[in-house]
Structure 1
Amino acid sequence: MRAVLARGLTTILGTIAARIGESRAWAPGIAIAALALGACSKASEAPPPPPLQVSVASPLAMNIVDWDEYVGHFEAPQAVELRARITGVVTEIMFEDGQEVRAGQPLFTIDPRPYEAQLEQTRAQVAAAEAALANATTVAARSEQLVKNQAVSQEEYESNQAQLRTARANLLAARAASDNASLNLSFTTVRSPIEGRVSSRRVSLGDQVSAGTTLLTTVVSLDPIWFVFDGAESFYLKYLREAKQGLRGSSRTTQNPVDVQLSDETGFPHHGHMVFVDNAIDPGTGTIRAHATIANPDHFLTPGMFGRARLLGSGTYKALLIPDDSIVTDQATKEVYVVGQGGAIVKRNVEVGPEIRGLRVVRGGLAQTDLVVLDRLNQIQPGMKVSMRKTELTIGTNDTKTSPSVSLPQPSTATIPPADWASK
């Protein structure tokens, strides 16, 4: 069209120049204008630019499982308050505050001398009771022969038999008192009932302690250790329904895996399994308490530490995965671009799930045969024609078993240590 107009305009300009008689003077200008118009027409006939090239890939289909995250803390399976079982004076403390102790290790000594004397006294009472029993036995046997010969009265015979029974009972009582005295003497040495870590001493040498009331120290077990958390009722219902459908075993009967992350870690390097789910939901909070057991051979995990746990939340199912960078967020809507028929861009609304090893789970809105656009997302729009460079998606390695990176707190200040620092 532009070429036709240019030719027409050239003809008109030539005609005008001829009529005004200045064809020679105006001819160069007219020729230049005609050439310019002709050049424009040739430029307008240049081929259009090639379509934008984008990288595309089909979603990666894999069998995965979901994990649910909870915040909780570590607790010692056994936490013992050591209290004095006898009354007396502390004469010896046999541990350093905070040290690790073994089961049966002596920790305190309470003055044993009064209890040693009491034990000796009860042993003497046992000896006296044994002598009395021996004498009563002899008298009873003699009176039994005499009563047959009618040498003693029946009344005296029965009295001798009663004294024998009394002597036997007295011996039993004396022996029980001796056992109790021996037990009290053993309580003068206070031992750790479990293996674990002892707290600080709560009494000092020379302190008077009372039986059953005075707290001496506490001991907690460390290996294994519990991770305790509260789960929402909605998750509890989900687990019940999955167990009923055979998709995931109940944590009451199945050792579902649990991974734990500490506050300064980026991975989940501490591994264990579920061992307990409570029997009721707390109506005040709408949560139910549960705990997992975690191996702690190096005693690094400490009761009271907070952490984040992820619990196996589903059975195995097939899911589609795409890179997070290929997902566009439009307010509350998640969208991806796919290449449709004829190389045209099509926008799809998708439902996304959790992230797994660098890829994002897509729960709905995509098919495995779709070609998802991976780059140049800000240069394309629906309906635009593009050329494709096909690639294949790969999933990253599982790094949860490796040592996690940690975030260290910054010190408040720093100093130069003295020369004799190493000797202190």
Structure 2
Amino acid sequence: MQHIRNFLIVALSVLAVACSSADDTQQGQALPVRTVTVAMADLDNVIELPGRVEPVRVAEVRARVTGIVQSRVYEEGTDVGEGQPLFRIDPSELRASYAQTQASLERARATAANANAVVQRYRPLVAENAISGQEFDAAQAAAREANANVAEIQAQLRAASLQLGYTTVSAPIAGRAGRAAVTEGALVSQAEGTLMTRIEQISPIYVSFSQSATEALRIRRAIDSGELDLTPGAVEVRLTFPDGSDYEIPGLIEFLDFSVDAATGTIQLRAEFPNPEGLLFSGEFVNARIYAGKMKNVIAIPQRAVTVADTGGTVMIVDKDGKAAVRPIKLGRLMGDNWVVESGLKPGDRVIVSNLQKLQPGMPVQIANPQADGKSAPSKSATKAE
């Protein structure tokens, strides 16, 4: 029994020493971390919305005469100029109609010339009472009728000329011509307005998107209270493609609707973008970032420093004793890579942004960036990436 008692005493002593050594190690070793120091700053107010690319103008090229398509004289999917021929319609029937109208005009002119000559012959005779006034009046009426007939047929000839000109189907606007809707040999109809192709003007080009009426109201109130500084004038917009790449050329808001869509509760906005290389395609979906002024005197911290839960957000800070401590915060908007913090932090707080998986509350930490301790305001790259 004495041997067993001695063994237990030795074993317990070893465990106590081991535990004491582990505790001392945990308390004595500080975990290196990187931090940002909280500071008030002005932050770009970036509104992120999905958008759809739309052409500035769309022209549906339709048949203006009835006939058979002889040829397509443009290359599908290429840029065309205003007035450039696109299709040719068989003009034979219209040429015959034009010649017939022209012949009718010549006959009407001859009749009018004869009627006017009769009036000129009768004029001195009626003065001498060689003919009755009734005969002279009848001659004048016949001349006026003949002249009116000439004018009518001249109008018909101009209409026939227009119809003949419409057999060459030209581009009404400059832009990108789409796929042909008809082929050679197809019958097109003036009455039905047969669609032949479409032309879209895509340089410059529009991007349309919808903003919540509630968000628009929040922005208006922030402007009125001074929290948001929105200088009157151009509002810049930048785009991101679905693959995550950025469109390098910024655009500007050029239309803002002042009515709310009753079905969706949104307001329509539209931006115009240069599209010199044709990288923006009509109908394409993109992500738009609208730079609507600056948020004044806000606190923003990197997204990676925040743990988000159903009850709100938390961060790890360095307390006055140099140890990690949990701090609950109230989150505002996520602006790119940064969270706006509405409450829970104050200027001067040091927020930990690295080694968060290894940290436990109360653990001593060693700031690994004492000289380069960054401010919580977002960097230039962050603001540009929002």
Distance between the aligned counterparts of 2:73 and 2:346, measured in 1?
70
Distance between the aligned counterparts of 1:111 and 1:401, measured in 2?
58
CA contact (8 A) 1:73 1:307 kept: yes
Residue among 230, 233, 236 paired with 2:213: 233
Residue among 195, 201, 206 paired with 1:215: 195
1:398 corresponding residue in structure 2: 381
Query: May I ask how many residue pairs the two structures share in their alignment?
Result: 358
Residue among 160, 163, 174 paired with 1:181: 160
1:408 corresponding residue in structure 2: none
* Higher strand residue share: 2
Q: What CA deviation, in whole Å up to 9, does each residue of 1:96-154 have, x standing for no partner?
A: 33233222111111111221222222223333333333333333233333333322222
Gaps of 5+ in 1: 1-32, 403-424
Q: How does 1:138-157 map to 2 (within 5 A)?
A: 138-157=117-136
Normalised TM-score (structure 1): 0.72
The letter of the residue matching 1:59 is V
TM-aligned CA distance change 1:278 to 1:329, over 3 Å:
closer
1:64 corresponding residue in structure 2: 43
CA contact (8 A) 1:261 1:308 kept: yes
2:140 corresponding residue in structure 1: 161
Q: How does 1:284-303 map to 2 (within 5 A)?
A: 284-303=263-282
- Which deviates more from structure 2 when the two are superposed, residues 75-84 or residues 169-178? 75-84
**Higher RCO, Cα 8 Å, sep 6+:** 2
Structure with max Cα Rg:
1
Q: How does 1:9-408 map to 2 (within 5 A)?
A: 52=30, 55-213=34-192, 214-241=194-221, 254-267=233-246, 269-341=248-320, 347-354=326-333, 358-375=337-354, 377=356, 378-381=358-361, 390=370, 391-393=372-374, 395-398=378-381
For residue 381 of structure 2, give the secondary structure of its aligned residue in structure 1: coil
Q: What CA deviation, in whole Å up to 9, does each residue of 1:230-264 have, x standing for no partner?
A: 322212333454566785669xx954222221211
Normalised TM-score (structure 2): 0.78
CA contact (8 A) 1:61 1:319 kept: yes
TM-aligned CA distance change 1:278 to 1:323, over 3 Å:
closer
Distance between the aligned counterparts of 1:359 and 1:202, measured in 2?
50
Q: What CA deviation, in whole Å up to 9, does each residue of 1:284-329 have, x standing for no partner?
A: 2222333222211111211111111122344442323333343344
TM-aligned CA distance change 1:399 to 1:369, over 3 Å:
closer
Aligned-pair CA distance for 1:157 = 2.1
The letter of the residue matching 2:144 is R
2:6 corresponding residue in structure 1: none
TM-aligned CA distance change 1:143 to 1:222, over 3 Å:
same
Distance between the aligned counterparts of 1:312 and 1:285, measured in 2?
23
Distance between the aligned counterparts of 1:228 and 1:392, measured in 2?
42
Distance between the aligned counterparts of 1:325 and 1:399, measured in 2?
13
Gaps of 5+ in 2: 1-9
For residue 250 of structure 2, give the secondary structure of its aligned residue in structure 1: strand
RMSD (Å) for aligned C-alpha atoms: 3.5
Q: What CA deviation, in whole Å up to 9, does each residue of 1:20-78 have, x standing for no partner?
A: xxxxxxxxxxxxx9xx9xxx9xx99xx99658476554224432222222223212222
